[in-house]
Amino acid sequence: MRKLCVWMLMALLLIVPALAEEADPAEAWFAEQAALLNPLGLEAAEQREMYDLALPDGTQAVSLCLTMEGDLRFGRYAQYVRTALMDRETGEMLSLDAVFNDLDDLQQFLDAYVEDSVLEELNTYLDANDLLPVPLDAVCLDELGVTFHYPAERFQFFSGHAGALQLQWYELRDDLAIDLPEQPFPLAEVDTIDVLLAEYGSLTDPDLVEGGEIYEFESPALRGIQAIADENGTVHAVRAFRFSVKGAEPGMSREKAEALLGAPLKSEALDADAARRLRLQEGEAAPSPGMKHKHYAPKARMTLYEGERKAVAALICREYDALPAGEKALILAATANLPLYGGRNTTDLGADEWAAAHHIFAALRQADADGVTRVFSEGWPETGVGLAVMNRMARAAGFDIVRVDA
C-alpha cells in the first residue's frame, strides 16, 4: 500500500507541472513557434516579448512576439519573427481589428507615413525601396507603441537583421480602437554609449557634432531618437524627434509645450554656424524626422566616380597626379581595385558594399585627422545595399559625381 501511495504521489508531481504549462496559452504558443522555426534544435538566440492590454469589450489580450536568430538557414544566418494577438484567458487568436478601428484606413495611413517621413531617411542607410505596402501580418505591441515587421528579403539593415517600422502610440491615436496607452520615454535613463549600442545596435557610423558624436540606433523603436556621447563614451544628451512626454509632442507650439512641461532650462536660437556644428537647421525649431541632421562631410573636397572600374581608376589617377603642390590627396577604393592605383595614397573601403557601408565615415574622419585636402572615391553599383552606400557617399561629396565612360 505504501509503495502504491508513493507511485501515485510521483505521478501527481509529474502531471501537475504539465497541466500548469498547458494552462498558459502564451507559453504554449512560444514553444510551438520555436519548434517550428528551429525543428533541429540548432543553437540560436531567442527573444520572447509579451504585452498585456485591455480591449474595448473588456477582453484581456496579450501581444506575443518571438524573435529567433542564428545559423538556421542551411548553416547561414537568418532571423525570424513570429507574432500573435491572443485572448489571455482562452488562448483564442484575435485579429488586429480588435486594436484598430479600420485596417484599410490603417494601411493607408501607414503607407502615407512611410512615403512622407521614412523613405528618404532610410534610403540614406540602406535599400529601402520595398517598404510599401507596410505589412500587417507580423505586428508587435509593447509599452512604446506598435512595430510592423518586414521579411528580410524586403527590408534589411546592414547588420543582417530584418527591418521593421515602429510607430509610437501617440502617432496612431486616430486609428486606435483601444484607449491611448501611456508611454514612457525610450531613453529616460542612459549611461554610456556602449550600453546603448549593445542593446539597440548601431544604424550607421556616428556623425561628429559639437560636444562629441551623435549616434543613431538600429532598433525600430529608436527611429528619430539619437544619443550624443562625449569622447569618453558618456551620453550627455538625447535628441528626439518622436516622443510624447506628459502630453507634449513634436509639432506642438512652444506655448502649449511649456504649459505642459514648464519653461526650458535653456533656450538658444541657432545661427548658421551653430546649426552646422550641431547638425541642425537654422532657427529654434528642430527639423522634421526626415531631415534630422546633416550627415558627416569631410573638410576636403570630395568627388565620387561611377563607371567601369579600370576607366574610373585611370581617370582618378590622372586627376590625382595633376593636383598642384601642397595638396594632400586620398583615394577611397574597393579592396580588389587597390592595385590599380600604384603607390598613391589609398584607403581600403572593403571587398563589397556591405563593408563600405561600415567603413566610409570612419575613413572620412581619418582623412580629416590626417589633413587630407582632396578625396577621390570610387562608386558602387546602385542596387541593394549599394544604393544606400551611394546615397551616403553622394551626400558626403556634396553630390559632386563624375560618370566615367568606358
Q: Is residue 6 part of a domain?
A: no
Residues 131 and 55 in one domain: yes
Domain match, 53 and 99 both: yes
* Strand order from edge to edge, sheet including 60-73: 44-54, 60-73, 76-87
- Asked whether residue 105 falls in the same domain as residue 221, the answer is no
DSSP 221: G
Taking only the tens place, the pLDDT of each residue in 151-166 is 988 888 877 788 899 9
10 domain-assigned: no
- pLDDT attached to residue 348: 94
Query: Do 241 and 286 contact (CB within 8 A), yes or no?
Result: yes
What pLDDT was estimated at residue 294?
46
Mean pLDDT on 353-357? 80
pLDDT digits (tens, 9 = 90+) for 74-132: 778 888 999 999 999 999 999 999 999 999 999 999 999 988 888 766 655 555 557 88
The tens digit of pLDDT for each residue in 21-68 reads 456 999 999 999 999 999 988 999 999 999 999 999 999 999 999 999
| 113 touches 106 (CB < 8 A) | no
Does one domain contain both 275 and 332?
no
Confidence tier at 291 by pLDDT (50, 70, 90) = very low
What residue numbers bound the domain in which 160 lies? 25-183
Closest listed residue to residue 367, CA positions, set 289, 302, 278: 302
Q: Give the CATH number, domain containing residue 322.
A: 3.40.50.11030
Last residue of a domain, one of 162, 183, 204: 183
Greater pLDDT, 10 or 269: 269
pLDDT, position 123: 59
Number of domains in the chain: 3
CA 332 from centroid of its chain's CA atoms: 26
Quick one: what percent of the chain has pLDDT higher than 70? 84
